[in-house]
């Protein structure tokens, strides 16, 4: 019979224990009753016939047990016993248990956390239309020798918008806290001033009301504000009547113009609201010097334009601008960085701390990150189980000398790793929850703690862990009792 068939048969036997037992009882009863009948035919009285039949048959319960042994139907009864034994040995050997659990918890926890982060950030595209076209402007920071988000000035922004040939649109935004006063508790809010073009670049729409249009970019336009879904629900209980109402922000009255959909969190995870950025108004302060003003740019490339072409184009404009504004502090060498990379880049230090440089490089290089996590998990449990087997060679020898079969030893080692993996998983998931919470605080737009990721990684890890412990378990079955006993 083929392997899968046999496994299927055994699995079916597990679920059909009632049927298996019933059939077995019926078969053995048939045997005994036929035998009794035959004995009676040969002249025995019924009592005698029954006794003779049972005697000739041998132990009925023993036979049943041996029949069951040919299948895996014994698995459930043994499982509880195995688990109890597993816990007992772990309890007796606390030093080892502690070390092993620590390793496993760290390994599993980090794996799950990294997987859900990676799943949530690195692998998931940005929640915008054609996210590959989105770039932020960066410039080389002389002091830190590092590419940093470029801070530009409104005149430059205007010049780029008017003179560039490579972008569909460029948005200007800056962040600043605002104080909400008036009804209810005063609150400090994370506000973002953004030009209407910013929303155009990202191609987002309001879920209620509307986003800014060009009219709102002009000075003297009515003060309006757009709320984030989170802030709207938190502060106004998701009441749509707030649209068109005024709220007091930093002592000015703003009319609520729209509410953004859940998941729109630009430029930061915790941005509460957006107010129009009046470029011309800002220019009044910056026109003469075009000094740094803490403004960032996000742009959408035209289809078919490469990053290099776009950088050449803007740097050409920068050269003109530096002549037009000799006193500018704007940095000369502009680069473009994909918006995704910019966002993911913020995670880097945290991940570096967690993984070490090598781990992170591997992680980035390894397109199939799940494999990496699994290999780590497998290596962990393999090492731990190998150590355990080595420590217990003597005990295994004694057990074999006392009549334990290979399969008993195999089960003993495997149950050890099962218990260990189970406890490790429980602790690891707890650790992973904490870790992802810590990391999500640092990463914009991350929805980690994805239950599907947690469940699938846990299941996969459990399977791999047990599979990995199979190798040392097999080694344990090859222990020669004589050698093991003499070893002591």
Partner 1 sequence: MTKADADLLQGTLDVLILKTLALEPMHGYGVSLRIQQISKDVLRVQQGSLYPALYRLEQQGMITYEWGTSENGRKAKFYRLTKAGLKKLETETASWERLSAAVTRILQTA
Residue among 19 and 437 whose Cβ is closer to partner 1: 19
Residue among 19, 70, 312, 408 that touches partner 1 (CB under 8 A): 70
Q: Give yes or no for residue 30 binding partner 1 (CB under 8 A).
A: yes
Shortest distance (Å) from residue 27 CB to partner 1: 5
Residue in the structure block whose two tokens are 């996210």 = 131
Point out which span in 62-70, 242-250, 286-294, 355-363 binds partner 1 (CB under 8 A).
Answer: 62-70
Specify whether the CB–CB gap between 292 and 330 falls below 8 A. yes
Q: Which of 28, 122, 140, 485 binds partner 1 (CB under 8 A)?
A: 28
Write down the least CB distance from residue 476 to partner 1, Å. 20
Which range binds partner 1 by CB under 8 A, 32-40, 90-98, 308-316, 330-338?
Answer: 32-40
Dihedral sign from CA coordinates of 290, 138, 301, 121? negative
| Angstrom distance (rounded) from CA 311 to CA 308 | 5
Nearest approach, Cβ of residue 408 and partner 1 (Å):
15
Using the rule CB under 8 A, is 474 a contact of partner 1? no
Task: Assess 67 for contact with partner 1 (CB under 8 A).
Answer: yes
CA distance 201 to 297: 10
Q: Is the peptide bond before 93 cis (omega within 30 degrees of 0)?
A: no
Work out whether 27 is an interface residue with partner 1 (CB under 8 A): yes
Q: Does 46 bind partner 1 (CB under 8 A)?
A: no
Structure tokens at 7: 């496994």
Q: What residues pair up with 138 in beta bridges, in sequence order?
A: 149, 335
Q: What Cα–Cα distance (Å) separates residue 478 from each residue in 128, 405, 410, 475?
A: 58, 11, 10, 5
For residues 155 and 325, the answer to whether their CB atoms sit within 8 Å is: yes
Segment interacting with partner 1 (CB under 8 A) among 20-28, 183-191, 447-455, 460-468? 20-28
23 part of the interface to partner 1, by CB under 8 A: yes
Do the beta carbons of residue 27 and residue 60 sit within 8 Å?
Answer: no
Phi, psi of 272 (to 5 degrees): -95, -35
Candidate residues 17, 50, 71, 302; the one interacting with partner 1 per rule CB under 8 A: 71
Is residue 5 a contact residue for partner 1 (CB under 8 A)? Answer: yes
In angstroms, the CA 210 to CA 257 distance is: 6
Which residue of 7, 8, 19, 26 would you call a contact of partner 1, by CB under 8 A? Answer: 26
Looking at 250-293, which runs of residues are DSSP E strands? Answer: 252-259, 273-276
From 379, 299, 305, select the one nearest 337 (Cα to Cα).
Answer: 299
Tokens for 10, please give them: 């055994």
9 makes contact with partner 1 (CB under 8 A): yes
Closest contact distance (angstroms) between CB of 470 and partner 1 is 22
> Which helix (H) or strand (E) segment is 111 a member of?
helix 94-117
- The single-letter DSSP state of residue 93 is -
Q: Contacting partner 1 (CB under 8 A), which of 14, 44, 60, 460?
A: 60
Question: Cβ closer to partner 1: 12 or 486?
Answer: 12
Question: Up-side HSE of residue 95: CA atoms within 13 Å toward CB?
Answer: 2
Per CB under 8 A, 66 contacts partner 1? yes
Residue 31 is a binding residue for partner 1 (CB under 8 A): yes
Single residue of 25, 48, 69, 129 touching partner 1 by CB under 8 A: 69
Q: Is residue 33 near partner 1 by the rule CB under 8 A?
A: yes
Query: Can you give the binding site for partner 1, defined by CB under 8 A?
Result: 1, 5-6, 9, 23-24, 26-28, 30-31, 33-35, 37, 56-60, 62-63, 66-67, 69-71
């Amino acid at each position: 019979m083929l392997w899968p068939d046999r496994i299927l048969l055994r699995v079916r036997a597990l679920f059909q224990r009632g049927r298996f037992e019933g059939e077995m009882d019926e078969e053995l009863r048939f045997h005994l009753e036929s035998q009794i009948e035959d004995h009676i035919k040969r002249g025995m009285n019924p009592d005698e016939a029954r006794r003779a039949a049972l005697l000739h048959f041998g132990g009925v319960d023993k036979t049943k047990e041996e029949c069951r042994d040919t299948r895996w139907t014994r698995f459930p009864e043994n499982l509880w016993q195995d688990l109890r034994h597993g816990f007992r040995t772990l309890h007796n050997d606390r030093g080892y248990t502690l070390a092993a659990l620590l390793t496993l918890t760290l390994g599993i926890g980090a794996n799950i956390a990294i997987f859900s982060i990676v799943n949530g950030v690195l692998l998931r595209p940005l929640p915008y239309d054609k996210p590959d076209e989105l770039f932020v402007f960066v410039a080389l920071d002389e002091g830190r020798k590092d590419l940093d988000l470029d801070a530009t000035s409104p005149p430059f922004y205007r010049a780029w918008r008017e003179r560039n040939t490579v972008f569909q649109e460029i948005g200007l935004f800056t962040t600043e806290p605002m104080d909400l006063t008036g009804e209810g508790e005063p609150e400090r809010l994370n506000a973002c001033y953004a030009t209407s073009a910013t929303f155009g670049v990202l191609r987002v729409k309001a879920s209620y009301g509307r986003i800014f249009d060009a009219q709102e970019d002009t000075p003297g336009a009515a003060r309006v504000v757009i709320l984030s879904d989170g802030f709207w629900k938190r502060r106004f209980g998701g009441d749509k009547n707030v649209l068109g109402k005024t709220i007091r922000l930093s002592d000015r009255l703003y009319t609520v113009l729209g509410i953004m959909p859940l998941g729109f969190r630009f430029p930061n995870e915790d941005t509460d609201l957006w107010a129009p950025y009046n470029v011309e108004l800002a220019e009044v302060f910056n026109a003469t010097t075009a000094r740094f003003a803490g403004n960032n740019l996000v742009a959408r490339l035209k289809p078919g334009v490469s990053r290099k072409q776009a950088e050449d184009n803007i740097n050409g404009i920068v050269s003109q601008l530096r002549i037009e504004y000799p006193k500018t502090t704007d940095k000369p060498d502009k680069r473009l960085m994909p918006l995704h990379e910019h966002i993911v880049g913020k995670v880097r230090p945290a991940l570096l701390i967690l993984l070490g440089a090598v781990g992170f490089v591997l992680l980035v290089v390894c397109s199939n990150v799940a494999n990496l996590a699994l290999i780590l998990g497998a290596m962990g449990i393999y090492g731990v189980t190998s150590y355990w087997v080595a420590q217990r060679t003597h005990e295994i020898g004694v057990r074999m000398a006392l009549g334990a079969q290979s399969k008993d030893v195999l089960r003993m080692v495997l149950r050890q790793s099962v218990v260990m993996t189970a406890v490790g998983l429980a602790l690891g998931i707890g650790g992973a929850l904490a870790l992802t919470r810590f990391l999500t605080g640092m990463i914009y737009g991350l929805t980690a703690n994805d239950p599907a990721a947690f469940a699938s990684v846990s299941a996969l890890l459990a399977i791999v862990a047990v599979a990995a412990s199979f190798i040392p378990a097999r080694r344990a079955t090859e222990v020669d009792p004589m050698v093991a006993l003499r070893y002591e």
